[in-house]
Amino acid sequence: MTTEQLVADLRAMWSIRAFEEKVQALHKSGDVRGSVHLCIGQEAGPVGACDALGDADALFATYRGHGWAIGRGAPLHAVFAELLGRATGVNGGRGGSAYFSAPEYGFYGENSIVGGGASHAVGAALAGRHDGTDRLAMAVFGDGAVNQGAVYEAMNFAAVFALPVLFLCENNRYSELTPIRDMVRNERLTDRATALGMTATRIDGNDPAVIREAVADLAEAAREGGGPAFVELTTQRLVGHYIGDVQQYRTKQELDADGLVEPIAVAIAKLAGSGVDTDAIEREVRDEVEVAARQALADPVADVSKAKEHLYA
């Protein structure tokens, strides 16, 4: 990897990290309300994987989806505004933290049903086969979602019909508050996918370059009729499952160890001796995030009388 690409990846990861940390602060101040799940420590996934997607492709994330929306190009200001319930948000302040979407950027929304986006991605890929777009769809979910029946049904359907779907599992070792080792007998989650006859790979989820290459190769194969693929990204979150989770189930030693291998720390270590001022990159990105947050806070609050607009049943 070139120094230029590594710097670009570091900047992109800092953008997500700083955004999430600002959301954390805004939640503490009462400006952001409701349940919020942060992806701090998992920034490499969206930075690497989204590069494999084209404008017509569709991405479906979990409720931990802020980083994936940003990775698809959704503006910081508009995402902040959405979380703050502002009229200028990507959904006019209706979606909040766990339900927003930005389809104009290929981000077709989060889902608070664990693994719920998998079937949506399959539907998008199937529709693409018939509407002429031949879109690739990507579903992102956590390790706990592999125990959901709907995820297996979606993967099996995609495999049988050779649909261009990438199933990305962010394995941060915890299914909410429970270690994955206590949830399954076989911790190698790729085995679940190979049993369905699809390609599956387990890669370093803390390296955007590794993710970019692997996902790009699998995306190309899927577009050429090779069918779906499953990618297990081994990573970690550095914060609780949700804001307010005090993580009593994790030791300080574990968190300290995770801090040494998380994606931003690794990228900074790789740039040591290159002459790149990584502190300056962080300062610049944090300034950009602060500006976006201030703009969103100054925007008009969403009109509650219009809450049912764009609601279909």
pLDDT of residue 192: 92
Q: Tell me, rounded to whole angstroms, the distance of Cα 196 from its chain centroid.
A: 24
Strands 174-175 and 165-171: unpaired
| C-alpha distance across the termini of the chain, in Å | 49
pLDDT in tens, 135-157: 999 999 999 999 999 999 999 99
Can you give the three-state secondary structure of 133-201, one letter per residue?
Answer: CCCCEEEEEEHHHHHCHHHHHHHHHHHHCCCCEEEEEEECCEECCEEHHHCCCCCCCHHHHHCCCCEEE
A 10 A CB-CB count for 125 gives: 28
- Please report which confidence band the pLDDT of residue 311 belongs to, taking 50, 70 and 90 as the band edges: confident
Task: Look up residue 247 and give its two tokens.
Answer: 């993580």
Give bridge partners of residue 170 from the DSSP assignment: 142, 233
Q: Average the pLDDT over 32-48 and give the result.
A: 97
Burial class (CB in 10 A: 0-12, 13-18, 19+), 146: buried
Question: If you search the block for the tokens 């508009």, which residue do you land on?
Answer: 78
pLDDT of residue 187: 87
pLDDT in tens, 189-234: 999 999 999 999 999 999 999 999 999 999 999 999 999 999 999 9
pLDDT of residue 18: 98
Domains of the chain, earliest start first: 3-296 (3.40.50.970)
Task: Look up residue 76 and give its two tokens.
Answer: 């910081």
Q: What is the pTM of this model?
A: 0.96
Containing H/E element for 269? helix 263-271
Q: Average the pLDDT over 8-12 and give the result.
A: 98
- Please report which confidence band the pLDDT of residue 167 belongs to, taking 50, 70 and 90 as the band edges: very high
b/e sequence 92-103, b meaning 16+ C-beta within 10 Å: bbbbbbbbbbbe
Is the four-CA dihedral 94, 98, 104, 105 of positive or negative sign?
A: positive
pLDDT of residue 312: 77
Whole-number percent of the chain with pLDDT over 70: 100
Task: Look up residue 100 and give its two tokens.
Answer: 């927003």
Whole-number percent of the chain with pLDDT over 90: 93
pLDDT of residue 35 exceeding 90: yes
pLDDT of residue 306: 87
Q: Average the pLDDT over 241-257 and give the result.
A: 95
**How far is Cα 136 from Cα 224, in angstroms, rounded to an integer?**
11
pLDDT of residue 309: 84
**How far is Cα 200 from Cα 192, in angstroms, rounded to an integer?**
9
For residues 135 and 166, is the Cβ–Cβ distance under 8 A?
no
The CA-based diameter of the chain, rounded to the nearest angstrom, is 58
- Computed over every residue of the chain, the mean pLDDT equals 96
Q: Average the pLDDT over 91-112 and give the result.
A: 94
Is the four-CA dihedral 165, 170, 176, 177 of positive or negative sign?
A: positive
Enumerate long-range contacts of 268-273, CB under 8 Å, 24 or more apart: 268/10, 270/6, 271/3, 271/6, 271/7, 271/10
